[in-house]
Chains A and B, each alone.
Chain A
Amino acid sequence: MDFFALLAQGADTLFTFTNLLLLSVGVCLGIFAGSLPGLSSSNTCAIMLPLTLGMSMEGALIFMVGIYCGAQYGGAIPAILLRTPGTTGAGATTIEGYPMSLQGKADVALGVSLLSSSLAGIIASVVCLAIIKSAANIALSFGPAEVFLLALTGILLIASLLGDSVRKGLLSGFIGLLLSTMSADPLLGKPRLNFGFLELYDEFPMIPALVGLFAIPALIDLVGKKRIAEGDIQKIGTIAQTLKGFKETIARPFNLIRSTFIGLLVGILPGAGIETASFLAYGQAKIWSKDKKTFGKGNIDGLIAAESSNNAVTAGALVPTFLLGIPGSATMAVMLASLTLHGVTPGPQVLQRFPSTVYALLLATLVASIIFIIFGFYYNRMVSQVTRMNLAYLLPATFVICVIGAYAVRYFTFDVYLLIIFGVLGVIMHRQKYPYLPLILGLVMGPIAEDNYSRAIALSNGSFKIFFASDVAKIMWAVILVVLIVPRVSGLLRKIRAKSQSRS
């Protein structure tokens, strides 16, 4: 069947009153859930799963795609307003979004985030529709060795680019990776350094660590202030400021498109993770930027990169899920569970048997990206008022939400204790200028790195040649060398210039 016929079938499936309503409700629910730390798209989809039993298979999947797309944007809201990423994909968003809030530009940041997410979702969906079958070949060309190298590149990129000191960033990343291995090993199931806690047997819980490292130091820093926003608070909540954010996004098309393609490519790779996409895109934005010094202080390019890449992942993740039967993320795993509940066996045959459904889902990510711009526009204006609120009310409420968020993931009080431990660690790192992002990245990508490393070693019977064999692997190594060497060389050149200027 040719492309246009498949597209028409997909459109026919999606554009019914019921399915469009389900998509809209899913998007609204996703934005709301994403904006609550601890509630991600995957657990929201899991909670809604029983409700979808009464829906048609297409309706259930379209509903979950709506939640998935909405949540990727929704996670940016607390990231920008409270330095608390609502989803793991919003980690990079906090770096630039929160400083903008402190400057009284929360609306601008939310506007940038909203339009970047929307445009990236639209572009990624269109590209995916056009190349869906070739995209499957790209996914197949990345074996475990290549995915391991991709994870390593992401961590090294962030460790070497952020903060004042490469060695501090690398140490932070190393500790994050070690922490991620505090779980049962993937091959034999032996517990490693879990101090006898069964709660650490499965995998190291990321959400409490993420919320603790991001949110607690930021909230502690706010003690003594009257409100979050320092700038002109009269402008907060105005349409003009949100539209200013839109204008700033449109003024940076190259960054938007580059970050979208990074997100799309990473989304196509099974198990690479939304976090990988957002941090890779963020790192790239800094490399290409002419204004590197403003990164970490409210740089709009960094914000665009983070938000556009994490939304582009949503379209890409559909490819390995429905073409290869390999879920690209936890949310995709829940969607595959939904397929099973509707009597369909997940796998490569889904595209052959239900092509209209697969194309409808890709169209759904495109339409969802348009829907959330409408809902998000009004939602943003409401939530940005948070930066004007009296912190005497906001701070305790946010701490409680963080506690609930940490607890809600696995229903363990242990996770709440971890939240506080990482909170205190975050305060120490913040005070002593050790970058916390590489640690978070190490924690988040550690399981991906270990899983793929172990499989690569098993495939090659213990030989490390597998990490250098393919062309993709060689490109990854070249990127790693550039990432490690370029900052040192540019630092050296800066010293030479400074010394020659002081001489003259």
Chain B
Amino acid sequence: MAPAQAGLLLQLLPSRTDSEQLIQPVKVDEGMLKKYLVFMYEKHLFSILAAAFVIAYIVSISGMPAKSIIFPKLLLYGGVPILVWNLVAATVEFIKSQRKVREEDRELDGEEKHAKTMGLDRPKLIVLGATVLYVLAIPVLGFGFSTIVYLVFLTFYLGVRHIGKIVLYVAVYYAFVYAVFVYWMKLNLPKGILF
């Protein structure tokens, strides 16, 4: 191998500074564990959820006949190492981030609040929350009533203040939904206590 190529390849190896940073022990205290959990929640919640799902999956298929789990077993053999790789990489990312954190003043309270809401601001959270409530209300109150209330609330919240416009919009839109899906496509939308 030519010296230039060898030199270039050597550059890819972790530098002494990188290695020192990794090897240098991190002071583990209660605060560190909390920071780790916040970090994982903020940046790698999907990996945590994936791990929980895989564990539940493995428990549920244990004891099943071998023929039922031919493909799942193949997936788990290939996928569990990928999951572990992700979790380890996330932990290494956390350790590296702690080196940088020590040099900066960060508002922990603000950071924690940001983490709890996954970076979503208040309007987005309210719209998401309203949508969840709407979906939960459909089988109880009925599609029609729930949809009308949802449309009125969301239109008002998103900035339309003219009551006449809201009423007209809801009426026209609901008529469209009814005409296309109920009358033409013969779709039976869920009915609850109301309509």
Q: Which chain A residues have a beta carbon within 8 Å of chain B's beta carbons? A: 36, 39, 47, 167-168, 170-172, 174-175, 177-178, 181, 185, 187-188, 190, 192-193, 216, 220-221, 223-224, 390-393, 395-397, 399-400, 403-404, 407-408, 411, 413, 416-417, 419-420, 423-425, 427-429, 431-432, 434, 449-450, 453-454, 457, 492, 495-496, 499-500, 503
Contact = CB atoms under 8 A, between A and B. Distances in A.
A393 B155 contact: yes
A174 B135 contact: no
A80 B54 CA distance: 34
Given A188-B68, A404-B187, A424 B128 contact: yes
Contacts of B139: 413
B91 interface: no
Given A178-B75, A432-B44, A167 B82 contact: yes
Which of A223, A408, A411 is packed against the most chain B CB atoms within 10 Å? A223
Q: Top 8 closest A-B pairs, CB basis?
A: A174-B79, A392-B158, A185-B68, A396-B154, A450-B71, A190-B68, A193-B60, A499-B11
Which of B42, B85, B118, B135 is packed against the most chain A CB atoms within 10 Å? B135
A174 B78 contact: yes
Nearest to B61: A192
Interface in B45-74: 45-47, 49-50, 53-54, 56-57, 60-61, 64-65, 67-72, 74
B128 to A, nearest CB: 6
A428 B47 CA distance: 11
A428 B46 contact: yes
Contacts of B1: none
Interface SS, B side: helix
B135 A408 contact: no
A393 B185 contact: no
B195 interface: no
Contacts of A419: 135
A167 B85 contact: yes
Contacts of A224: 121, 123-124
A427 B177 contact: no
B120 to A, nearest CB: 7
B82 A178 contact: no
A411 B185 CA distance: 13
B132 to A, nearest CB: 6
B64 A432 contact: no
A454 B72 CA distance: 11
7 contacts: A178-B75, A192-B64, A192-B68, A193-B56, A391-B158, A399-B154, A428-B49
Interface string B80-104: 0011011001000000000000000
A453 B57 contact: no
B178 to A, nearest CB: 11
Given A399-B134, A400-B173, 15 more contacts: A168-B86, A171-B82, A174-B78, A188-B65, A188-B68, A220-B120, A392-B155, A396-B158, A397-B151, A403-B138, A408-B187, A423-B131, A425-B49, A450-B71, A496-B11
B142 to A, nearest CB: 11
A300 to B, nearest CB: 30
B119 A431 contact: yes
A185 B69 contact: yes
Contact of B177 (A47, A404, A432): A404
Which of A192, A391, A428 is packed against the most chain B CB atoms within 10 Å? A192
Contacts of A428: 45-46, 49, 118
Contacts of B76: 178
A402 to B, nearest CB: 9
B79 to A, nearest CB: 4
Interface in B171-195: 173, 177, 180-181, 185-190
A192 B72 contact: yes
A380 to B, nearest CB: 20
Interface in B109-136: 118-121, 123-124, 127-128, 131-132, 134-135
B174 to A, nearest CB: 9
A392 B118 contact: no
Nearest to A391: B158
A408 B173 CA distance: 18
Contacts of A396: 150-151, 154-155, 158
A396 B181 CA distance: 17
B121 to A, nearest CB: 7
A425 B48 CA distance: 12
B185 A185 contact: no
Contact of A177 (B67, B69, B75, B180): B75
A453 B123 CA distance: 46
A174 B70 CA distance: 15
A192 B69 contact: yes
A172 B44 CA distance: 12
B74 A453 contact: yes
Given A178-B54, A178-B57, A453-B74, A500 B67 contact: no
B26 interface: no
Nearest to A399: B131
B64 A413 contact: no
Nearest to A499: B11
B3 to A, nearest CB: 14
Given A188-B68, A457-B70, A171 B118 contact: no
B17 to A, nearest CB: 14
B71 A395 contact: no
A187 B64 CA distance: 13
A224 B126 CA distance: 11
Contact of B67 (A187, A399, A427, A499): A187
Given A193-B57, A457-B70, A492-B12, A167 B89 contact: yes
Given A178-B53, A404-B187, A454-B71, A431 B118 contact: yes
Nearest to A396: B154
A17 B136 CA distance: 50
B128 A427 contact: yes
B47 A454 contact: no
Contacts of B169: 393
B14 interface: no
Nearest to A182: B57
B121 A453 contact: no
Interface string B27-51: 0000000000000001111110110
